[in-house]
A = this chain, B = another copy of it.
């Protein structure tokens, strides 16, 4: 069996930048998980004493606070700033952008529609910048019957699929006088998705590596599953099963934006150890 990596996969600009910031900020704490990868977070804790804390009260004894790549809410940021702590901002610039758009558009009288998961930290942060009604939806069905302004600004979570985003825009176009669509899906996401789609179309088994709480990894998995029935989402090599590879000719590999190369290498090594014949 041949193993092939997608032509684009893994770490994006924002994640690389955040890890570099964290590695340069020993003895600090991140507010929430810096990136959605448990193994990489453990490595930062072990090697640089970068702790992951999840509540404001836990943070009270910390002096150096790293803001996670997904960003945090405007209020939380203000509380941290007001408490006099040193803020080390690792928010991905591609997340800062939708935060700014939401703030500006809501000031200009647009209702805000966000295509995303309202429980995802990125979206909690982005929506907190709105000064008026915000509707966070995963499909246009959720907008049916909802009273919405005739002027709407539409923003997407950075890691979503463009096809789903287009459907929501189409629906809003039919209901509103003006829909101001911002393409806030990040390029790394689009490139990884495109490459995964191309490879899944040829592969007979696909392994997608990334945190189970990683939005972009879940999207990669869903795309691969459309093109290759035997697609599996794993966090690391311990979840692999030999039987997935039996009788397969081409094993494709893709990985989410928060998956470090060393985990991808471990997965490839483990698959090679299975010594599966075509």
Choose, from A18-26, A168-176, A239-247, A258-266, the stretch at the interface: A168-176
- Chain B nearest CB: distance from A84 CB in Å? 37
Which single member of B162, B180, B183 contacts A181 (CB below 8 Å)? B180
Residues of B contacting A170 with CB < 8 Å?
Answer: 166, 169-170
The 0/1 profile, CB within 8 Å of B marked 1, for residues 192-204 of chain A is 0000000000000
Task: Give chain B nearest CB distance to A96 CB in angstroms.
Answer: 15
A179 adjacent to chain B (CB < 8 Å) = yes
Of B162, B174, B180, B182, which contacts A174 at CB under 8 A? Answer: B162
Q: Is the CB of B169 within 8 A of A181?
A: yes
Q: Is A213 on the interface with B (CB-CB < 8 A)?
A: no
| A180/B183 contact (C-beta < 8 A), A165-B173, A173-B165, A173-B169 known | no
Flag if B169 contacts A178 (CB, 8 Å): no
Interchain CA distance A169-B51 in the complex, whole Å: 45
A100 lies within 8 A of chain B by Cβ: no
Residues of B within 8 A of A182 (CB): 177-178
Q: Which of B162, B165, B166, B180 contacts A178 (CB 8 A)?
A: B180
Tell whether, in the assembled complex, residue B183 and residue A173 are in contact, meaning their CB atoms are under 8 Å apart.
yes
Q: Which residue of B lies closest to A179 (CB)?
A: B181
Q: How far is the CB of A235 from chain B (nearest CB, A)?
A: 31
A179 to B174 alpha-carbon distance, docked (Å): 15
**Are B166 and A173 neighbours in the complex by a CB distance under 8 Å?**
yes
Interface centre among A173, A178, A182 (most CB of B within 10 A): A173
Cα A170 to Cα B162 with chains together (Å): 9
Nearest 7 A-B pairs (CB), nearest first? A166-B170, A179-B181, A180-B180, A178-B182, A173-B181, A162-B174, A173-B183
Q: Contact residues of A with B, CB < 8 Å?
A: 162, 165-166, 169-170, 173-174, 176-183
